[in-house]
Amino acid sequence: MRNFLFIILLFAGFLTSATAQENQTEEQNGTATHEQAATEPHGCECHEDVEEGFDPATTAFHHIGDANVFSIGSSIHIPLPCILYAPTQGLSVFMSSKFGIGEHGTGEKAVDKYVLYDGWVMRVPDPKFPTGEVAIDCINHKTELDAKGKERDKYEVLYKGECYPLDKKTTWDGGMLGGGVTSFYDFSITKNVFTMLLAFALLFWLFRTVVIGYNKRQGQAPKGVQSFIEPIFIFIRDEVAVPFLGHKAEKYLPFLMSIFFFILGLNLIGQLPIFPGSGNVTGNLAVTMALALFTFVLVNLSGNRHYWEHTLWMPGVPAIIKILILTPVEILGLFIRPLTLMLRLFANITAGHVVIVIFVGMIFIFGQSGENLGGGIIGTVMAVPLTLFMMAIELLVAFIQAFVFCILTASYISAAVEEPHHH
């Protein structure tokens, strides 16, 4: 049932993401048509978003998404540093609070042609739009049909009675996820980046404390935080590193420990309901892809002659079978391994966050966003035990997924460094 739920939520996430992000390529890919439209503002007016009840899907995906601000609810916002670069105007560095963050993370000001909409920084590419800090009337989000009949998201900022099209940030995904090169690059400390820095700082403090404890209490039983870390460390060493890598375990143990505790730390931080915005770092494809790439590079750089021989040209097998079947499959397997690492971690963590947010959303659905007290009570009675149960499962998943990523990495390294067996 859980796997079935994961698959449904994963596909829903991809469809939602594709629909929302696919539009970036054609509307923001820097083509001449786009630039011409950007330099010809037209008269328009603000369009108020009509809220038709509580939308759990939108809330869930907004919750798990990355942003340039930490949002708690719709009115509490914690600003983060914005580091933005546009080739036509250079580097801009400021706090996102400069946007005058209002409801739902949308700014009331433009700063150096940048605006904040729903927690995301966008830019006005029109050279006629003023630089510096200016008050804007509103930001409009609407959908339009393109030449192929597909719906496309359009974002415009209204300033002094004129609407100016907005660019989203450049996304180097080759268009696979709907991104593309736009008029600016975002190197900001987003909430996911901040969460990773926080996890790094906490882990550094944790292990530094353990090292100091061992130095002070040599030959004595572990105490305090040592009692928590030592069993986990010994388990990963004795049940993962040594069984797979044997006498080479010590060489790769630092990497295995680093990736295990880093993923675990991010997973646990994401489970804290008191943490601002509940950063969904390991539920972000870019993060899990980066972690998988570390494994991919290490495995293939560590590969010995025996590993590459059996990957590219298996001895003792007819050449026609190698060329047509085995070698292509083995080469494809080199890339499938990190892909499965990336998707497994992303899917499990994202699914848990989405389910928890949807369970909490039952309070607002049954209560009709505060209009029905009886329905709100019924929703609360249903949502609280379900949410607590799901959070307990996710706590277990946080450890399991860190362990799975670690043990699979160890198995891939083992296959790369294994010595040939002679019979």
Is residue 283 very low, low, confident or very high in pLDDT (cuts 50, 70, 90)? confident
Of 9, 3, 7, 4, the closest CA to residue 359 belongs to: 9
47 to 24, 51, 155, 331: CA distances (angstroms): 21, 12, 12, 53
What tens digit of pLDDT does each residue of 292-321 get?
A: 999 999 999 999 988 898 888 878 788 888
Higher pLDDT, 116 or 61: 116
Of the two residues 97 and 48, the one the predictor is more confident about is 97
The terminus-to-terminus CA distance of the chain in angstroms comes to: 46
Q: Does the pLDDT value for residue 341 go beyond 60?
A: yes
Rounded to 10°, the helix 327-366/249-271 angle is 20
pLDDT at 400: 95
Rounded to an integer, the average pLDDT of 239-251 is 94
Does residue 34 contact residue 40 with C-beta atoms inside 8 Å? no
Neighbours of 322 (CB within 10 A): 16
Residue of 386 and 61 predicted with greater confidence: 386
Q: Is the dihedral of CA 162, 118, 120, 90 positive or negative?
A: positive
Domain ranges of the chain: 45-188, 193-417
Residue 353: closest CA among 100, 99, 98, 6: 6
- The burial class, CB within 10 Å (0-12 / 13-18 / 19+), for 267 is buried
Tokens of 323: 């060329």
Is 70 exceeded by the pLDDT of residue 8?
A: no
Listing DSSP states for 102-152 in one string gives: -GGG-BSEEETTEEEETTEEEE---TTS--SEEE-SEEEEEEEE-TTS-EE
**Taking the model in full, what pTM does it have?**
0.81
Of the given ranges (31-35, 186-190, 325-329, 389-393), which has the lowest mean pLDDT? 31-35
Mean pLDDT for the chain overall: 81
Most confident of 29-33, 70-74, 95-99, 169-173: 95-99
Distance in angstroms (rounded) separating the CA atoms of residues 15 and 349:
18
pLDDT attached to residue 362? 81
- 156 secondary structure, DSSP code: E
List of E strands, 124-235: 133-135, 138-145, 151-159, 162-165, 185-186
* Placement of tokens 């495995």 in the chain: 299
Question: What average pLDDT does this structure show over 29-41?
Answer: 41
pLDDT for the residue numbered 178: 60
Could you read off the pLDDT of 343-371 as tens digits, one per residue? 999 999 988 888 887 888 788 777 776 67
- pLDDT of 32 over the 50 cut: no
* 368 DSSP 8-state letter: G
Flag the least confident range among 248-252, 373-377, 407-411.
Answer: 373-377
More reliable by pLDDT, 172 or 414: 414
Check residue 38 and give its pLDDT. 41
Dump strand ranges (E) for 228-272.
none
Q: Could you give the CA distance from residue 160 to residue 61 in angstroms, rounded to a whole number?
A: 33
Measured in degrees and rounded to the nearest 5, phi and psi for residue 55 equal -110, 100
What is the mean predicted confidence (pLDDT) over 195-224?
Answer: 90
* Model pLDDT, residue 316: 79
Helix (H, G, I), strand (E, B) or coil at 154: strand
Q: How confident is the model at residue 180 (pLDDT cuts 50, 70, 90)?
A: confident
The arithmetic mean of pLDDT across residues 43-47, rounded, is 69
- The pLDDT score that the predictor gives to residue 312 is 85
Among positive and negative, which fits the CA dihedral 140, 141, 142, 147? positive
Tokens of 71: 């949002």
What integer pLDDT is reported at residue 124 of this predicted model? Answer: 95
